[in-house]
Amino acid sequence: KNEVEQSPQNLTAQEGEFITINCSYSVGISALHWLQQHPGGGIVSLFMLSSGKKKHGRLIATINIQEKHSSLHITASHPRDSAVYICVSGNTPLVFGKGTRLSVIA
Amino acid sequence: NAGVTQTPKFQVLKTGQSMTLQCAQDMNHEYMSWYRQDPGMGLRLIHYSVGAGITDQGEVPNGYNVSRSTTEDFPLRLLSAAPSQTSVYFCASSYSGNTEAFFGQGTRLTVV
């Protein structure tokens, strides 16, 4: 059974800080998703990656297939980045981490 | 292109009532799935489908039924609602498990 573990569970940062959220999974996968859930509840897909690194604006996602580990980085964090970030194993069916609740304080 | 449309957004049921949560996508995705989200638990898979006519159980299937008669639609049926089914429900679709997933806006269900 694939298990997806995220850390930390909760994170509070000052505006401008560099943020890292980690994700580890137990079964080899071919892809991994990072999702963002805002306080209103809607879920948005940020990245889907199978190797290396992807960048979108201030967000960077990396994955190391051999180590079964992925990280999501946010540079120059802003209060609007406050949300729950969820790591998801891309194997069918999807397996979700429990999420990291990020609060960025101005 | 509407993406994933999930209805209703809110629903209150009495214990024992039945209802259907609707999920439709217009992206010709083969893979569709239903999740429930409870505090401290993350999203848990209820049922999923890898194509029309094919469904399978997820982690928490009891009390729910699904069918996939078309590629576009994947309704979730609560047969006899129980307070333990109070949750936020999300539908998702993707071309496959290894491609970008798209989510509906969620249904907040309360069973009293």
Integer Cα distance of A17 and A93 in angstroms: 35
> Considering only CB atoms, which chain A residues are within 8 Å of B31?
92
Integer Cα distance of B101 and A93 in angstroms: 12
Task: Report pLDDT for B97.
Answer: 67
Which tens digit of pLDDT belongs to each residue from B61-96? Answer: 999 999 999 999 999 999 999 999 999 999 999 887
User: Residue A36's CB: how many other CB atoms inside 10 A?
Assistant: 19
pLDDT band at B22 (very low <50, low <70, confident <90, very high): very high
Q: What is the DSSP string of A17-51?
A: --EEEEEEESS--S-EEEEEE-TT--EEEEEEESS
Task: Report pLDDT for A3.
Answer: 86
Q: Does the pLDDT at position A57 exceed 80?
A: yes
Task: Check CB contact of A42 with chain B, cutoff 8 Å.
Answer: yes
Task: Report pLDDT for A26.
Answer: 85
Q: Give me the residue from B88, B101, B108 closest to A94, CB to CB.
A: B101
The 3-state DSSP class for residue A79 equals: helix
Least confident of A53-57, A75-79, B98-102: B98-102
**In terms of CA atoms, which chain A residue is nearest residue B55?**
A93
Integer Cα distance of A94 and B108 in angstroms: 21
Structure letter (DSSP) for residue B73: B
Is A43 within 8 Å of B90 when comparing Cβ atoms?
yes
Is A93 within 8 Å of B56 when comparing Cβ atoms?
yes
pLDDT band at B1 (very low <50, low <70, confident <90, very high): low
Q: Does the pLDDT at position A21 exceed 80?
A: yes
Q: Does the pLDDT at position A85 exceed 80?
A: yes
Least confident of A56-60, B9-13, B81-85, B96-100: B96-100
